[in-house]
């Protein structure tokens, strides 16, 4: 293994949120936002330090206990993980600010908010741990941390439907975890190592590796609510309270995508075939169309936004068929790889900003009206112009109109699709965008329509609306430093890497 | 002879799993689940994983069983009016009503599951025997501060994983508190046991369990045992005392309870940070103190996990 510079940041990025989670338990319930807000900013500073560190040194590692693999665990911080960590920190700070105000409103006070900050900090630690991990068993542990905290947060709203949805979420997530763990056990048994860098070198094609790939991918697809397994997402995300929905939809489901991206590109190259990539792409395209269509049919704002998450996550899966190279291509000759990677990263960021803004806006609507029926959105523009603007801006990014981050993502995805000759994905992307435009314009049309009867909008703290608006603007602002971001990501090894199926593993029917 | 025992165990596991799923009454399901857990523990012993066997018997079968028994109260006649429905075997009624067309998806998914099992078996059979890192762990054992390879892996080589696992227990507790806040699902609290014989028995068991837990904790250095296993025995003390009407856990102040539950993971984490301040590496024990540090971390973790288990039980029954 190549010697990489060591850094103390990776354990701090995991340990500090965990410490904050424990410390916040000792604060009186009314004072918990104090460690909450200060702690979020502290994690933000650490994430910024991580950006500085990786732009200076490239990939850095930390070996807890000094035990190098295969015996120990390595924490690896490369530009790709830093992008995810800083995205989490940035959105986390805004959601923290919002939640602190939200739980004081009449609607928010119903939530068992004392547990929000501890669970959210532990979840944050789990997410950072996931992004930094370089060990497939450690990944499993961080996935467990994320699942338990996410389910705990999802049921915080204290409603019966939230508990029901939360239980369903828990059961689906546990099935996913077990599938993943089965794959890890098979890989460990056949190679004797859990370290991803080593596995990339020693994993040999064969039935065991292929089966491990299938169950691990299956587990991750359940976790990230990919098309046939998306059933748990809309109820769980819509029944949670607004800041929690934003966390779950913007950040938590991205964890599954991140792990899948890492494992497919760095570990499982030998067992993948072109068809496997196509299969994942089909699931993604189906999610895009099905999720958008379902969103169009909803009558409740939060359910609409949650179904839209299913669709937007589908776009993420559609980069996998582009990453798996057809026989005869190598990473150097496949010129669409940078476009596909950029599409994936921008889709993650644009969706995280836009969707957290949408859910926070939905929370404002709930706080103002006491419910979230779409029909009551009439006259929103006159009553709450800032929220209407936030919904509009975030919606434009979800549709993928220029000059938003969502446009960057979809444009790059289309570019990748056409450069690679896999034109058959283009209709799904376009239909998805049209359907998205349908439900966003439906919301906006109502927001501009005059009220039929006098809707009673309760006053809502202005800070709530500012947070939602800033996040919506964020989905546009990320498009400005796009060039710099791509240059930064190219520092890392994994960005721009394709999965060359033929050279290593094309002949595995021969044994 | 070995083949006979193993075959018998495998058959029993599958049989009990099916009985557990198909039992007509919830109480039967719970008791079959107890038996299922014990057979699983025996299987782990046959596989040579004694640590896992103890954990399986104590946590998965014992503690889970207690929680399941408690949730049976939801369906007890005094609390619920669904009694009639539960008395009838619902599974059999359902089977009788289905027409042929409804069987097709069941058969298809059953066949799919069988195929999956077959491929899984094929994949497992390809795994070479004796792989893994046992040899590596044995070689580094003298530097680790533990004499038992499992303990060395858990608390030194992969201590970062274990730190997260210990914290997971705390998170699970918080998640249960989060879910348990829903009033309409709260049930009446469990009255303390009045039976004098039971109360006496609990008092007799308490010191025995404590000693056995301490033994498992200490022996974890050189053999199967350790923090998680000891914690369940100590947690059992809390649950038994609670059952007998001595609500020791509720007698502590809220702050004290929090400190006890958090002490384990907090000390583990702070040790990691302190060692990082000293040597620049997270959780890098100096070999001379490794054994001592591991013992303190394990003890505190055991106390915290035991307190968390008691807290879960106390929260659900009050």
ipTM above 0.95, yes or no: no
Tens place of pLDDT per residue across chain B (318 aa): 788 989 999 999 999 998 988 888 888 888 899 889 999 999 999 988 888 888 888 888 888 888 888 888 766 655 444 444 444 444 444 455 556 677 787 888 888 888 888 888 888 877 777 667 777 888 888 888 888 888 888 888 999 999 999 999 999 999 988 887 555 555 666 677 778 888 888 888 899 999 999 998 988 888 888 888 899 889 989 888 888 888 877 788 888 989 999 999 999 999 999 999 988 899 888 888 888 999 999 999 999 999 999 998 888 877
Asked whether residue B159 falls in the same domain as residue B93, the answer is no
- Residue A325 backbone phi and psi in degrees, to 5: -85, 145
Cβ B266–A71 below 8 Å, yes or no? Answer: no
Pair B178, B36 in one domain: no
User: Could you read off the pLDDT of A343-399 as tens digits, one per residue?
Assistant: 999 999 999 999 999 999 999 998 888 888 888 888 888 888 999 999 999 999 999
Q: What is the mean pLDDT of chain A?
A: 89
Average pLDDT over residues A145-163: 89
Nearest to A25 among B120, B133, B262 (CB): B262
* Structural domains of chain B, count: 2
Q: Are residues B17 and B155 in the same domain?
A: no
What integer pLDDT is reported at residue A100 of this predicted model?
A: 87
Residue B75 has what pLDDT?
Answer: 67
Same domain, B219 and B309: yes
Closest CA to A259 of A343, A137, A342: A137
Best A12, A14, A15 residue to mutate vs chain B (most B CBs within 10 Å):
A15
Helix (H, G, I), strand (E, B) or coil at A325: strand
Residue A506 scores a pLDDT above 60: no
A378 phi, psi to nearest 5 deg: -50, 140
User: Does residue A460 carry a pLDDT above 80?
Assistant: yes
B133: preceding bond cis by omega (within 30 degrees) = no
* pLDDT band with cut points at 50, 70 and 90 for residue A505: very low
Chain B residue with minimum CA distance to A139: B161
What are the structure tokens assigned to A436, written together?
Answer: 């998205």
How far is residue A154's CA from residue A168's CA, in Å, rounded to a whole number? Answer: 11
- Could B167 and A64 be called an inter-chain contact, meaning their C-beta atoms sit closer than 8 Å? no
In a domain, B53, yes or no: yes
Which of the residues B160, B177, B304 would you substitute to probe the A interface, choosing the one with the greatest number of A C-beta atoms within 10 Å? B160
Q: Which stretches does DSSP call E strand in A27-136?
A: 60-62, 75-77
A113 pLDDT higher than 60? yes
Q: Per the domain annotation, does B122 fall within a domain?
A: no
Q: Is residue B263 part of a domain?
A: yes
Find the closest chain A residue to B140 by CA distance.
Answer: A71
Largest CA distance in chain A: 74
**What does A422-440 look like in DSSP terms, one character per residue?**
-GGGHHHHHHHHHHHHHHH
Question: For residue B172, what is the nearest residue in chain A, using CA coordinates?
Answer: A148
A204 CB neighbours in chain B (<8 A) are: none
Per-residue pLDDT at A112 = 65
B124 touches chain A (CB under 8 A): yes
Task: Please say whether the beta carbons of A356 and A457 come within 8 A.
Answer: no
B157 and B305 share one domain: yes
Q: Please state whether B104 falls in left (phi above 0), alpha (psi between -120 and 50) or beta.
A: alpha
Highest mean pLDDT among A85-94, A150-159, B235-244: A85-94
Average pLDDT (A45-60) is 92
| Domain co-membership, B156 together with B263 | yes
The model's pLDDT over A385-435, given as tens digits with 9 standing for 90+, comes to 999 999 999 999 999 988 889 999 999 999 999 998 889 999 999 999 999
Q: Are B64 and B37 in contact (CB under 8 A)?
A: yes
Residue B109 lies in a domain: no
> Residue B123: its chain A contacts at CB < 8 A?
186, 207-208, 210-212
Q: Is the dihedral of CA B115, B121, B123, B126 positive or negative?
A: negative
In a domain, B104, yes or no: no
State residue A508's pLDDT score: 42
pTM comes to 0.92
Could you tell me where the DSSP H helices lie in A253-379?
A: 253-266, 274-297, 301-317, 320-323, 337-369
Per-residue pLDDT at B82: 46
Mutual angle of helices B254-279 and B290-317, in 10-degree steps: 150
Q: In this complex, which of A11, A125, A141 lies closest to B165 when CB atoms are compared?
A: A141
Cβ A163 vs Cβ B181: under 8 Å? no
The two structure tokens encoding residue B239: 């649950």
d(CA B152, nearest CA chain A) in Å: 11
Give me the residues of B, 200-259, that contact A with CB < 8 A.
255, 258
Q: How many C-beta atoms surround the C-beta of residue B163 within 10 A?
A: 27
Q: Let me know: does A192 contact A131? Beta carbons within 8 Å.
A: no
- The pLDDT value given to residue B159: 92
Question: In terms of CA atoms, which chain A residue is nearest residue B128?
Answer: A190
- Per the omega criterion (within 30 degrees of 0), is the bond before A130 cis? no
In Å, how far are A40, A128, A149, B233 from A240, measured between CA atoms? 21, 22, 13, 36
B242 in the same domain as B177 = yes
Strand partners, B145: none
For residue B157, how far is the Cα from the chain centroid? 23
Six token digits for residue A178: 């077990």
- Whether residue B282 and residue A151 make contact (CB cut-off 8 A), yes or no, is no
pLDDT of residue A2: 55
Q: Do residue B269 and residue A19 have CB atoms under 8 angstroms apart?
A: yes
Distance from CA of B247 to the nearest CA of A (A): 23
Q: State residue A103's pLDDT score.
A: 84
Could you give phi then psi for residue A195, rounded to 5 degrees?
-75, 130
B175 interfaces chain A, CB cutoff of 8 Å = yes
pLDDT band at A12 (very low <50, low <70, confident <90, very high): very high
Residue B132 lies in a domain: no
3-state secondary structure of B297: helix
A376, burial (CB in 10 Å: exposed 0-12, middle 13-18, buried 19+):
buried
A-interface mutation test, from B178, B185, B283, most A Cβ less than 10 A away: B178
> Element (H or E) spanning A183, and its range?
helix A160-191
Crossing angle (nearest 10°) for helices B26-46 and B2-22: 160
B90 and B154 housed in the same domain: no
Residue range(s) defining the domain that contains residue B164: 148-318
Length of chain B: 318
Which residue is closest to B136 within chain A, CA to CA? A71
What size, in residues, is chain A?
Answer: 511
Nearest-neighbour CA in chain B from A48: distance (Å): 20
Contacts of A46 in chain B (CB under 8 A): none
Where along chain A do its domains lie? Answer: 293-511
Which residue is listed with tokens 């809309």?
A234
Give the start-end residues of each E strand in A407-510. Answer: 499-500
Contact residues on chain A for B161, CB-CB shorter than 8 A: 73, 137-138, 141
Tell me the count of A-B CB pairs closer than 8 A. Answer: 169
Judged by a CB distance cut-off of 8 A, whether residue B122 touches chain A is: yes
The reply to whether B285 touches chain A by the CB within 8 Å rule is: yes
Residue A293's pLDDT band (cuts 50, 70, 90): very high
Residue B133 in contact with residue B269, Cβ under 8 Å?
A: no
Count CB atoms within 10 A of the CB of residue A239.
Answer: 24
Query: Could you give the CA distance from residue B210 to residue B157 in angstroms, rounded to a whole number?
Result: 29
Is residue B238 one of the residues assigned to a domain?
A: yes
The predicted-structure confidence for A17-26, as pLDDT tens digits, reads as follows: 999 999 999 8
């Amino acid at each position: 293994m190549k010697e990489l510079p060591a850094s103390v940041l990776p354990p701090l990025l995991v340990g500090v949120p965990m410490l904050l989670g424990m410390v916040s338990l000792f604060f009186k319930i009314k004072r918990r936002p104090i460690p909450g807000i200060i702690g979020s900013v502290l994690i933000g500073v650490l994430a910024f330090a991580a950006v500085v560190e990786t732009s200076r040194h490239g990939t850095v590692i930390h070996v807890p206990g000094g035990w190098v693999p295969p015996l120990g665990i390595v924490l690896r911080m490369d530009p790709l993980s830093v992008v995810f960590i800083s995205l989490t920190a940035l959105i986390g700070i805004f959601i923290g600010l919002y939640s602190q105000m939200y739980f004081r409103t009449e609607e928010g006070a119903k939530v068992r908010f004392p547990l929000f900050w501890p669970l959210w900090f532990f979840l944050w630690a789990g997410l950072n741990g996931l992004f930094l991990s370089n060990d497939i068993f450690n990944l499993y542990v961080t996935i467990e941390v994320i699942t338990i905290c996410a389910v705990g947060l999802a049921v915080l709203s204290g409603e019966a439907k939230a508990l029901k949805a939360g239980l369903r979420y828990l059961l689906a997530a546990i099935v996913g975890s077990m599938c993943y763990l089965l794959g890890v056990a098979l890989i460990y048994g056949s190679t004797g190592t859990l370290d991803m860098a080593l596995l990339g070198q020693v994993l040999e094609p064969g039935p065991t590796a292929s089966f491990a790939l299938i169950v691990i991918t299956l587990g991750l697809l359940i976790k990230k609510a990919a098309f046939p397994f998306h059933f748990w997402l809309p109820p769980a995300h819509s029944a949670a309270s607004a800041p929690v929905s934003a966390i779950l939809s913007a950040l938590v489901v991205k964890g599954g995508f991140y792990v899948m991206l890492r494992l497919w590109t760095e570990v499982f190259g030998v067992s993948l075939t072109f068809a496997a990539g196509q299969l994942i792409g089909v699931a993604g395209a189906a999610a895009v169309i099905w999720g958008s269509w379902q969103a169009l049919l909803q009558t409740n704002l939060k359910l609409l936004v949650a179904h839209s998450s299913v669709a937007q996550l589908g776009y993420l899966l559609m980069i996998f068929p582009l990453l798996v190279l057809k026989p005869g291509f190598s990473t150097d000759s496949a010129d669409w790889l940078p476009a596909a990677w950029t599409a994936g990263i921008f889709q993650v960021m644009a969706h995280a900003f836009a969707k957290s803004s949408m859910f926070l806006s939905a929370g404002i609507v709930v706080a103002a009206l006491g419910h979230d029926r779409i029909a009551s959105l009439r006259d929103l523009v006159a009553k709450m112009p800032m929220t209407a603007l936030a919904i509009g801006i975030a919606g434009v990014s979800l549709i993928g109109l220029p000059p938003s981050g969502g446009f960057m993502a979809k444009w790059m995805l289309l570019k990748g699709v056409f450069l690679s000759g896999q034109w058959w994905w283009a209709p799904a992307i376009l239909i998805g965008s049209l359907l998205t435009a349908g439900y966003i314009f439906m919301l906006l049309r109502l927001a501009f329509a005059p009220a039929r009867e006098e809707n009673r909008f309760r006053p809502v703290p202005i800070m709530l609306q500012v947070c939602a608006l800033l996040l919506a603007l964020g989905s546009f602002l990320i498009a400005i430093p796009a060039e710099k971001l791509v240059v930064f990501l190219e520092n890392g090894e994994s960005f721009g890497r394709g999965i060359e199926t033929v050279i290593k593993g094309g002949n595995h029917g021969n044994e | 002879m070995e083949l006979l025992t193993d075959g018998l165990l495998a058959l029993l596991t599958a049989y009990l799993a099916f009985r557990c799923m198909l039992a007509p009454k919830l109480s039967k399901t719970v008791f079959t689940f107890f038996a299922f857990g014990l057979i699983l523990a025996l299987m782990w012993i046959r596989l040579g994983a004694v640590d896992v066997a103890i954990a399986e018997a104590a946590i998965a079968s014992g503690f889970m069983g207690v929680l399941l028994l408690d949730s049976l109260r939801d369906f007890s006649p005094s609390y619920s009016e669904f009694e009639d429905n539960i008395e009838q075997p619902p599974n059999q009624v359902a089977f009788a009503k289905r027409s042929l067309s409804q069987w097709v998806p069941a058969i298809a998914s059953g066949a799919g599951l069988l195929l999956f099992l077959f491929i899984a078996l094929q994949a497992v059979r390809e795994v070479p025997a004796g792989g893994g890192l046992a040899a590596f762990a044995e070689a580094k054992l003298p530097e680790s501060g533990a004499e038992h390879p499992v303990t060395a892996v858990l608390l030194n080589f992969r201590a970062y994983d274990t730190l997260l696992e210990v914290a997971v227990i705390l998170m699970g507790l918080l998640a249960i508190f989060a879910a348990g806040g829903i009033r309409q699902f709260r049930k009446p609290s469990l009255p303390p046991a009045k039976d004098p014989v039971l109360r006496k028995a609990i008092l007799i068991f308490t010191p025995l369990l404590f000693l056995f837990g301490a033994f498992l904790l200490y022996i974890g250095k050189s053999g199967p045992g350790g923090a998680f296993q000891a914690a369940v025995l100590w947690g059992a003390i809390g649950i038994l005392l609670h059952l007998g009407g001595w609500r020791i856990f509720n007698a502590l102040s809220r702050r004290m309870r929090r400190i006890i539950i958090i002490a384990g993971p907090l000390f583990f984490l702070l040790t990691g940070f302190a060692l990082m301040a000293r040597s620049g590496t997270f959780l890098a024990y100096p070999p001379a103190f490794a054994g001592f540090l591991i013992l303190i971390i394990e003890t505190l973790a055991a106390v915290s996990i035991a307190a968390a288990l008691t807290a879960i039980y106390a929260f659900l029954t009050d």
